Amino acid sequence: MRAFAVFGLLLLAAPAVAQEKFVSSDASVRTILDFKAPAAAVQKLLPDGWELDSPSSGPATGSNLRITFIEGVWGEDAQGKPTPTGRTITVGFLAKKKGAEVGGLMLVNGLTAGAAPGAYGVYAKASTTSQRTLRTGADGATTVEEVWDAKAENGDAVQLQLQYVRAPAVRGKVDLRVYSGAKPEFYRIYRYTLATDALRGVGTAGDRVRAFTFKASGPKLAPLFDGSEQLVAITAVPYYSRQVFLPGS
C-alpha cells in the first residue's frame, strides 16, 4: 500500500465497466512536479460544476497543480500496430464533479512534440528537446540528470533542469480516470503499472534533489507561475506501462 501514498493519485480508482473499449497501450518514463499555484488562476481553469480534489495525504499533500514530463518508450494501437512515441508536458490537477465521490486527473494544458491538440483537446504543438543521463559510481549510488526545453507555437514555454540521487522505486498498480478540461464530459480510463521514486515532498525520508530549476512562461502558463507558486513534491517515475480504455455507454 506504500505506493498508493507515494504517488498521490492512486485512490482515484474507477470500477471496471463491461462495455469499455480498449484504445491503446504504451510505456514511458515520467517526472512529476506538484505545485501549490495561485488559487485564483487554477480556479479559472475548472469547468463549471467541477471542484478541486487536492491530495490530502502523501508527498503531494496540499498541491493544486501537476506538471508531468513524459518521454515515450513504445506505443501500440488496439490492433497491436506501433504508434508514434514522443515527448509531452501535461498540465493538470485532481478534480471531481461537485457532489461526486470519484474524480480523477483533469488535463487543462500541455506542450507536445506529437499530434496537437491530442485526445484531450488541450495540447499545443511544441518544439522540444530533452536529455536524461545516469551515472553510477563505485559506491553504487546513481545520479540522474534531466533537462527539458519546450517552446510551443502558442507562446508558452517550459524549462526543467533536475539532478537527483536515485533510490529503489516503489511498485504500484492504478486505475485512473483522466478528464479533458476543454470537454469535461470526455474521459479515458488508464490502467497501469508504475514504479515511483519520491524525491521531495511531504513526509518523504530526506531530500535527494541536488539541483532543480523550473521555468514556465507564456499566455496560458504565466498566470499559474507568477512567482508566488510553491513547489510541493517531485516524483521520478522510471517505469510506467499502461492500457487506455474509453468508458462504456
Give the model's pLDDT for residue 206.
Answer: 86
**Is 3 in a helix, a strand, or coil?**
helix
- Which among 200, 193, 204, 205 has a CA at the least distance from the CA of 235? 200
Give the CA distances from residue 48 to residues 52, 95, 118, 180, 183, in Å, rounded to whole numbers and listed in that order: 12, 12, 22, 13, 11
pLDDT score of 219: 98
pLDDT value at residue 4 = 39
Instruction: Yes or no: say if 5 and 172 are a contact pair by the CB < 8 Å rule.
Output: no
Residue 41 pairs in a beta bridge with none
Furthest-apart CA pair in the chain: how many Å?
Answer: 56
Which domains, from first to last, does the chain contain? 2-127+165-209+217-246 (2.40.400)
pLDDT at site 18:
58
**Beta carbons within 8 Å of 174's beta carbon, 6+ residues apart:** 7, 9, 10, 13, 190, 191, 192, 193, 194
Residues 192 and 241: beta-carbon distance below 8 Å: yes
d(CA 94, CA 34): 11
What confidence score (pLDDT) does residue 117 get?
97
User: CA-CA distances (angstroms) from residue 20 to 71, 189, 240, 244, 249?
Assistant: 27, 9, 22, 10, 8
Q: How far is CA 43 from CA 9, 15, 34, 130, 148, in A?
A: 20, 28, 16, 31, 27
Q: What are phi and psi of 42, to 5 degrees?
A: -70, -40
For the chain, 249 residues long, give each residue's pLDDT as a single digit of tens: 344 344 444 444 445 445 899 999 999 999 999 999 999 999 999 999 999 999 999 999 999 999 999 999 999 999 999 999 999 999 999 999 999 988 999 999 999 999 999 999 999 999 999 999 999 999 999 999 999 999 999 999 999 999 999 999 999 999 999 999 999 999 999 999 999 999 999 999 889 999 999 999 999 999 999 999 999 999 999 999 999 999 986
19 φ, ψ (degrees, to nearest 5):
-90, 10
- In whole angstroms, what is the distance from residue 82 CA to residue 103 CA? 31
The residues with which 92 forms a beta bridge, in sequence order, are: 66, 107
Strand 157-165 to 170-180 pairing: unpaired
